[in-house]
Amino acid sequence: MSVDLSAQIANMSVKNLFLNASGIHCQTEQELDELMNEPVSGAMVTKSMTPKSRFGNPLPRYYRLANGSINSMGLPNQGFDYYMDYLKNHDQKKPIIVSVAGMSKEEDLEMLHQLQDNDDYQGLTELNLSCPNVIGKPQMAYDFEAADDLLHEVFSFYKKPLGIKLPPYFDLVHFDMIAEVLNKYPLSHVNTINSVGNGLWIDTNSETVVLKPKGGFGGVGGSMVLPTALANVRGLRQRLNDDIKIIGTGGVTNGRDAFAHILCGAEMVSIGTQLYEEGLQTFERVTRELTDIMEAKGYTSLGDFRGKLKVIED
């Protein structure tokens, strides 16, 4: 049986729904080239970029856990011009989503103005309002009024496809509140979730934290955040306008996890911690596992089950 894994967000059509999570294997030219030439994934996203290059937080800033990871990277990246040069000088064998994450509202607007004025770039852009690991920088997506003000200003001039990266929400009323904001704007998509902010892990042998930045606090990812990620995909899909697509991110280690994201309403699925730990071969394995599940259930396309999660009735 032939299985169709294609998906579409705005003007971006892909043959395979999987892509990397921003921050994973996408910071340098070599990493981007490797992603570009990886034969299975349908698209790729850049490291969230700032106007100038950043080293990020001091080391150690990543730690592997038994069922996930904790990190406090602090937006290390090569800077806006570096990634724009990459787009200009490399053949794009698959679509690239440009992720931007300024250190302030003014920096976000500066980069988006440059993207709007760049006639060579017509692809998707993703505005990251959700990085939990930059010292002294709060997550704007938790300030609903500030997020609304920023998006209002952005869409006064930005006419290309634009989505946003969101942090996890934990209260149903917060799903209502952020959806009320987002539904005002012609967003191409939301990407949910970023890591669960400000977790803490302790090495009990040495009685110390495992990360240096922020006294050890960091964003939690990997399989342990899957329930939270699924809840956010489901909660937002139930509330957002139909034309705002969802990229499901968080906790995907196998095809079954991806299947669950799609059941909750994800158009595409990105992989973070598992990709970091296993490498680019993750895409082939997870794609095969998802295909096997679909074939066993008699599904021939993602649309056969996307958003069709069943609930327990009385």
The boundaries of the domain holding residue 140 are: 7-56+75-197+223-304
Tokens of 23: 């921050």
Asked whether residue 204 is assigned to any structural domain, the reply reads no
Q: Indicate the pTM of the whole model.
A: 0.97
Per-residue pLDDT tens digits for 258-299: 999 999 999 999 999 999 999 999 999 999 999 999 999 999
In a domain, 236, yes or no: yes
Instruction: Decide: 162 and 116 in contact? Cβ < 8 Å.
Output: no
What is the rounded CA–CA span in Å between residue 48 and residue 111? Answer: 12
Q: How far apart are CA 250 and CA 272, in angstroms?
A: 7
Q: What is the pLDDT of residue 113?
A: 98
223 a catalytic residue: no
Check if 131 is active-site.
yes
Distance CA 68, CA 227 (A): 13
The residue assigned the tokens 């959806």 is 179
The beta strands (E) that lie in the chain are given as 7-9, 12-14, 18-20, 44-45, 62-65, 68-71, 96-100, 125-128, 162-166, 189-192, 196-199, 202-203, 208-209, 218-221, 245-249, 268-271
Look at residue 135 in the predicted model and tell me its pLDDT. 78
When pLDDT is cut at 50, 70 and 90, the band that residue 302 belongs to is very high
- Flag whether 269 is in a domain: yes
pLDDT in the model for residue 137: 78
**Residue 128 pLDDT class (50, 70, 90 cuts):** very high
Q: Which of 41, 69, 72, 131 is catalytic?
A: 131
Report whether 249 contacts 191 (CB < 8 A).
yes
Q: What are phi and psi of 243, to 5 degrees?
A: -85, -5
Residue 202 lies in a domain: no
In a domain, 66, yes or no: no
Domain count of the fold of the chain: 1
**In a domain? residue 312:** no
Between CA 105 and CA 130 the distance in angstroms is 13
Taking CA atoms, 223 is separated from 74, 227, 236, 250, 271, in Å, by: 22, 9, 20, 7, 11
Q: Is the pLDDT of residue 314 over 90?
A: no
d(CA 95, CA 73): 26
In a domain, 113, yes or no: yes
Say which amino acid occupies 173: V
* CA–CA distance, 100 with 34 (Å, rounded to integer): 21
In a domain, 251, yes or no: yes
User: Alpha-carbon distance 272 to 224, whole Å?
Assistant: 13
Confidence band of 224 (pLDDT split at 50, 70, 90): very high
| CATH number, residue 41 | 3.20.20.70
**Strands 189-192, 162-166: pairing kind:** parallel
* pLDDT recorded at residue 180: 98
- Alpha helices in 129-225, H assignment, sequence order: 144-154, 172-182
pLDDT band per the 50, 70, 90 thresholds, residue 132: confident
Tokens linked to 105: 């509202």
Q: 3-state DSSP helix/strand/coil percent for the chain, to nearest 5?
A: 35, 20, 45
Per the structure block, which two tokens stand in for 251? 């906790």
Judge whether residue 42 has pLDDT over 90.
yes
Sign of the torsion formed by the C-alpha atoms of 15, 18, 23 and 27: negative
CB neighbour list of residue 225: distance below 8 Å, 6 or more residues apart: 68, 168, 193, 195, 196, 250, 251
Of 99, 130, 223, 270, which residue is the catalytic one? 130
